[in-house]
Structure 1
Amino acid sequence: MAKNLTFFLALLSFLLPAASQQDGFSYSGFSGGGANSSNISLNGVAEIEHSGILRLTNETSRLLGHAFYPDRLQFKNATDGAAFSFSTAFAFAAVPEYATLGGHGLAFVIAPSKELEGALPSQYLGLLNASDVGNFSNHVFAVEFDTVQDFEFGDINDNHVGIDINNLASNASAAVAYFGYDGKKNELNLKGGHTIQAWVDYDGVGKVLNVTVSPFSSKPPRPLLSFPVDLSPILHLQMFVGFSASTGLLSSTHYLLGWNFKMNGIAQSLDLSSLPSLPQPQKKDHTFVIAVSATSVAVLIAVIVAAVYLFYKIKNADIIEPWELECGPHRFSYGELKRATKGFRDRELLGFGGFGKVYKGTLPDSRAEVAVKRVSHESRQGIREFVAEIGSIGQLRHRNLVQLQGWCRRRGDLLLVYDYMPNGSLDKFLFLDSENQPSNSLLSWDQRFRILRGVASALLYLHEEWEHVVIHRDVKASNILLDADMNGRLGDFGLAKLYEHGANPSTTRVVGTLGYLAPELTRTGRPTSSSDVFAFGAVVLEVVCGRRPIEPRAMPEELVLVDWVWELWSSGRWTDVVDPRLGGYYVREEVKVAIKVGLMCSHPAAPLRPSMREVARYLNGGKGEEVPDPPSPPVDFEGMSPVGFDAFVPSYPSSSFDKLSACSITSGRDVPVSAGSGKVGPLVYSTPHFRASHV
């Protein structure tokens, strides 16, 4: 009797949810109009137009919109916690601002709340934020229809469907397509500006999720994605179901035209012909109709006004050239950056150099703080290096790299938009005579060692772990920026060189910064990952010693930092090189590892330098006695000829000289160095390192 009663209650608990709760609903268009509706919950910029179409986003950058069924639905059996089967069909469209560039995408979502508080736009699709991504406690399930390839989340392309569980890195994804009854796979463009129907079907018994898409009313015979998954641990007993969409630096208007949902059943497909029509793009009439007035004076005034207006519009237009479309969807408008930096006023100036000025800015819509690098008209960097910077850093994702958020070009104005690093650059914390030195400028040894590990990790990513080899070519303390938590981030990819793995880089132009230039560069002019390693070695010694690679105010025997460290290391007095401002508060074994790494990386013979993978391993796990001793530099390194530097500046404000710009590299010839103000004295290049004949 007890067993029968238990079985009856279990059966009743399974059947009642489907009978007692709302087990399905249907929207063939949406009623209400405006921002509010009684039959659907909206937030963000989502609103219902008078035609009955639901617009989730508009052509504004970096915004999000949500639309949810107003009531919770029961998604699980209250007795055993198993997820119910469910099915949904919906019709949507993405109309991009520019025909081939989407921004960003739309997602069908099941979530604990309708508000999705803290969610961000752009690549987060209005679902999560940077700190929530990947957390099991999110209990968010989504199917994304994404029109931007985001490398941070491993997107396969810029036109895909993905199944997301508590994350924006999809558990399964596929390029958008549908199967015909002949078995042929047909590609489908999410950015085409036309209506697409999607079906999401979850089999709670077989624990399989199917996603299907089509431009037609009928459901294709075969799903695009079929993914085995048990949603029981993901879903709560009761959840909200709806949609989220977002825009990024470029925008798309995301529309929802109709929606059917069924719990423990199959949702009926939508008849696309019965749904509201997509708004027709407004035709812009650029012709000026000049009314013929009674007097010639009125006609003349009208012509002058029209001419001035056209001149103003053309002068301030943002013209997008073909090469810009190849650099990814990260383009700001000039007006947006001008407002962000308050007209590029001097008060917002963070710094300047040979390549232009850097301003602090606050983006108008998101209120996010950014750093805007404005390349000057007189800059030697020019359009080629500007494009190279976008191409190399725009797709990189690493916690110890300064993220490039986007760019802008208006005729001769070239602008790059980076994450804002509130603590500035590393050199201002290392050197007592740095300009704008922070009041709390003393870095503890723990902070210094963490910065070195972070930068080493970033260089390893650039050299070996990304899909291409990126050679930074300008690793130095002033290009290592510190975030709010004093973590080191490598920035300024203006000199970065991008190569395919295994390729032989070739260039005859020496670029970089004096004191960080590997010896072989003056002979070959060919940057390699080993030349980056050499520059990193100089940074390591700077961090340990609190001194520049070349210190013109020092005693002659201490002028070149690496020579001085070599001398004290060889005599067993390596503790004498540690920055005295640390007051002896440092971890002896870590300092010893850092000095060894700095000297190994600074070896004049490139083959004897370690790779960044070895460097990262030494810094992250090696003990002082486990890390090999650096090989001694040869007394006379074969092939090294003295090279004169006529424009050496012994007094300079930052941790480095300005960048070299030498196009003729020949043994014994002068290599010009762009320098600021100050007295000029000769510096010769000899083995094994830089030595000054006199200052």
Structure 2
Amino acid sequence: MATKILLQLMLVVAVAVLAVEATGAVEFTYNGFGGARLSLDGMATVTPSGLLLLTNDTNMSKGHAFHPDPVTFRRPATNDTRNITMPSFSTTFVFAIVSEFLDLSTSGFVFLIAPSKDLSTAMPQQYLGLFNRSDNGDPRNRVFAVEFDTVRNPEFADIDNNHVGVDVNSLNSTASATAGYYHDDGEEEEEFRNLSLISREPMQVWVDYDAAATEVTVTMAPVRSPRPRRPLISSKIDLSTVISDEAYLGFSSASSIVLVKHYVLGWSFSLGGTPAPPLDYRNLPKLPRIGPKPRSKALIVALPIATTAAVLAAVAAGFVLLRRRIKYAELREDWETEFGPHRFAFKDLHHATGGFKDTRLLGVGGFGRVYRGVLPSSGTEVAVKRVSHESRQGMKEFVAEVVSIGRLRHRNLVQLLGYCRRKGELLLVYDYMPNGSLDKHLHSHGGYDVRLELDWARRFHVIRGVAAGLLYMHEDWDQVVVHRDIKASNVLLDAEMNGRVGDFGLARLYDHGADPQTTHVVGTMGYLAPELVRTGKATTRSDVFAFGAFLLEVACGRRPIEEEDGVDDDDDRFVLVEWVLGHWREGAIVGAVDARLGSAFDAAEADLVLRLGLACLHPAPAARPTMRQVMHYLDGSATLPDLPETYATFNTPAAMEIYKPKFFDSWSTWRSTTSTATSGAAMSDIALSGGR
């Protein structure tokens, strides 16, 4: 009898095991990651306290962490192998993003389900270590992800710089929302409360997939808060067409120039329709202390005594401290509170540049000197521009840069990281551009081999980058930003030879739809639009004109206007646009391409760039394309219309009447009256690249 009962029990257990295997149920919980067998690569590591740290202090790198074993998402529901189903699943995790700065971050992270743990081809920065330029959006990725992004990237159509998105094979989210949660206080309508992803506070996320309804929901709330009844995101997605039969679960993140640490404190998962196991908040590891330790009672009692002793010591060493205070003195004014980006202490900049030693000098411009530095707190390389405070034009340039570039965020614009003011001088801190200005490479300053440094593919890549930056300034930012000095020397090249627009010292801002105000004519000869010389109104169309001159300069390797030594006659000046027009009228426009390239260039792309340059240089502002149209032409999504046979430029009577008398015949007078403004235009180029 006992044997019979034992056999029956064994049969029940066997049936239960088979049922679990048939349904493919999987479940795991990590209350901290100490001793966990996670599969880590890149920067990812588990700290001694049990925190999963995805990113550290390494710039431009990435980190991945995966549950070690693959999860089988599909298996036969019955003995019929043709009936294979995709089960529901649920996961929850607690995370925290800790930025070096309270109000600035340059990367986020993602929870992902992928067919492989190998993400070696993924890129850092905005790609979050998940995809790269070529495979973003490829349906063969078979990747489902939920992103927590702290930067608004127009490239991916992000809604803001603090959002959650549901991603399928692409960082262009299928559904997204500003980070936050719906607080239920018993009222009929739930209140939405924002959450700052970079608040340094831990938050909990729940991601659920209902296979029957083919619906993904994402919910979040501050840690230890009840799970909100209403999810933040609810999106119809059939993941059976996305997730592979066997896939890996994990997290991915990447770093950039601003140091950001991404922590995961706990994680659980359930496959098969049951909710993810709850996390034990008591056993979750604690985040590292941020800021000073709280004062103890003993310290509160002893503080007055210590203060008195400190005052006496300060009196004894007053002379030394006074000299030190004068050495590092700074200035602050009311307008800086409203417009200023991150402010650096002069002491930090002094140490970063080795006391502004001559060995760190990058170049000398019209307003001061520029130094290469390394920030002591982060190890980030920067360029520090030291501007004379007594110069009225220098102050004007400084304010314009702080107000404009200090708030712009785009991968093809040189980033102003911060500033400092002290008696007698201003200091601007920029991203350091290791490859200097495009002008240096294009015109062979410093012994560069143009054939190696600037082949056609790199030139076309730089052109597209500059165009994307100008489109962001003209149409995609909160206000219209007119640069007023687009030229090769104001385009800087980063470590990957990406083109970035720099030097916003002459920039002007106005609201979309508003009429720009008349200003002094500033800029560089050869890039100034005829209507700007005539009316003094800088518009996006005048920027497009300068961009057209830039296109011809990059393609042909020659400056827009070249003067021979000792020749003052206007007729003897070389005008690049006239030279290109001559080739166009002869039906051989690609003959104007930089001869140093030989035949190593894409003829179709060269033809497009040269004709687009002529279209942008049209004397009539309304006939020029907008920067959005320019991007369509460069991307191949629109065909550039043929130039009219009656195309007019500087050699026509009408254009000569408008432009030439104001420029060429009185060039020496114009140059003497605007030398201060144009020297300002050269300053940022020196600041970021070490001279021309």
Q: TM-score, normalised by structure 2?
A: 0.71
Pick from 529, 542, 550 the counterpart of residue 531 of structure 1: 542
Supply the distance in 1 between the matched residues of 2:103 and 2:496 (Cα, whole angstroms): 39
Tell me the equivalent position of 1:170: 173
Tell me the residue number matched to 2:46.
47
Match of 1:187 among 193, 211, 215: 193
Q: 1:477 to 1:127 in 2, by over 3 A?
A: closer
For residues 607 and 384 of structure 1, the distance between their equivalents in structure 2, rounded to whole angstroms, comes to 31
Match of 1:266 in 2: 275
Task: Provide closer, same or farther for how the CA distance between residues 314 and 19 of structure 1 changes in structure 2, counting only shifts above 3 A.
Answer: farther
Instruction: Specify the SS of the correspondent of 2:654.
Output: coil
- Give the counterpart of 2:145 among 119, 135, 142: 142
Q: Amino acid of the residue matched to residue 160 of structure 2?
A: N
More helix by share: 2
2:205 corresponds to 1:198: yes
Structure 1 residue 495: Cα displacement: 2.4
Match of 2:685 in 1: none
- Which residue does the alignment assign to 2:686? none
Matched-pair identity in %: 40
1:629 maps to 2:646: yes
What is the SS of the residue equivalent to 2:269? strand
The question of whether the paired residues in 2 share the 8 Å contact of 1:517 and 1:534 is answered with yes
Distance 2:467 2:33 in 1: 57
Offset from partner CA, 1:77-119 (integer Å, 9 cap, x none) = 3756654321122333445555555665454333455675466
Looking at structure 1, the residues matched to 557 and 64 of structure 2 have their Cα atoms a distance apart, in angstroms, of 54
Cross-structure match for 1:238? 246
SS in 2 for 1:535: helix
* Matching residue of 1:92: 95
Distance 1:166 1:123 in 2: 15
1:14 Cα offset (Å):
9.9
Q: CA deviation at 1:596?
A: 6.5
**Structure 1 gap segments, 5+ residues each:** 1-10, 650-656, 663-671, 677-695
CA-to-aligned-CA distance 1:104-136 (integer Å, 9 cap, x gap): 545433345567546666544454556664444
Query: How far off its partner does 1:76 sit?
Result: 3.0
8 Å CA contact 2:435, 2:497 repeated in 1: no
- Report the 3-state secondary structure (helix = DSSP H, G, I; strand = E; otherwise coil) of the residue aligned with 1:503: coil
Q: How does 1:99-114 map to 2 (within 5 A)?
A: 99-101=102-104, 104-112=107-115
Report the 3-state secondary structure (helix = DSSP H, G, I; strand = E; otherwise coil) of the residue aligned with 1:390.
Answer: coil
State the Cα deviation string for residues 629-673 of structure 1 (Å, max 9, x = none): 313441774799758555677xxxxxxx997546xxxxxxxxx98
Question: What displacement does 1:387 show?
Answer: 0.9
Matches within 5 A, 1:321-360: 351-354=363-366
- Alignment partners' CA distance in 1, 2:584 and 2:95: 73
The 3 A distance-change label for structure 1 pair 236 and 291 is same
CA deviation after TM superposition for structure 1 residue 492, in Å: 3.1
Q: What are the within-5 Å matches in structure 2 for residues 218-237 of structure 1?
A: 218-237=226-245
1:388 corresponds in structure 2 to: 403
CA contact (8 A) 1:178 1:212 kept: no
The answer to whether the 8 A contact 1:402-1:419 is kept is: no
Structure 1 residues 54 and 323, CA gap change in structure 2 (3 angstroms): farther
How many angstroms apart in 1 are the aligned matches of 2:559 and 2:624? 22
Alpha-carbon spacing, 1:213–1:343, altered in 2? closer, same or farther (3 Å)? same
Structure-2 separation of matches of 1:597 and 1:501? 25
Instruction: Find the partner of 1:478 among 462, 471, 489.
Output: 489
Of residues 58, 66, 69, the one that matches 2:67 is 69
Distance 1:551 1:437, change over 3 A: farther
Given that 1:149 and 1:156 are in contact with CA atoms closer than 8 Å, whether structure 2 keeps it comes out as yes
- The residue matched to 1:634 in structure 2 has which SS? helix
**Residue aligned with 1:109, SS:** strand
* 2:569 aligned to which of 536, 551, 556: 556
Whichever residue aligns with residue 164 of structure 2, its letter is V
- Distance in 2 between the 1:489 and 1:255 partners? 32
Q: Distance in 1 between matches of 2:605 and 2:107?
A: 45
Q: In the TM superposition, what is the alpha-carbon distance from 1:200 to its structure 2 partner? A: 1.0
1:191-590 superposed matches below 5 A: 191-215=198-222, 216-244=224-252, 249-250=257-258, 254-264=262-272, 265-270=274-279, 272=281, 282-283=292-293, 351-354=363-366, 372=383, 374-377=385-388, 380-382=393-395, 383-391=398-406, 394-397=408-411, 401-404=412-415, 406-409=417-420, 411=422, 412=425, 414-418=427-431, 420=433, 422=435, 424-426=437-439, 428-430=441-443, 435-440=445-450, 455=466, 459-460=470-471, 462-464=473-475, 468-481=479-492, 490-540=501-551, 542=553, 543-544=555-556, 546-553=558-565, 556=569, 558-562=571-575, 565=578, 569=582, 578=592, 581=595
Read off the aligned partner of 1:372 and give its amino acid letter.
A
1:291 and 1:64 map into 2 onto residues whose CA distance is 46
Q: Any stretches of 5+ residues in structure 2 without a counterpart?
A: 1-14, 683-692
Q: Does the Cα contact within 8 Å between 2:24 and 2:73 map onto a contact in 1? A: no
**Structure 1 residues 441 and 351, CA gap change in structure 2 (3 angstroms):** farther
Q: How many residues end up aligned between the 2 structures?
A: 631
C-alpha distance in structure 1 between counterparts of 2:38 and 2:332, whole Å? 39
Tell me if the contact between 1:330 and 1:405 (Cα under 8 Å) persists in the aligned partners. Answer: no
Give CA deviations for 1:229-269 in whole Å, capped at 9, x if unaligned.
22234433333323445665555655544333211121234
On the 8 A contact 1:107/1:245 being kept in 2, the answer is: yes
- Pairwise CA distance, 1:473: 0.6
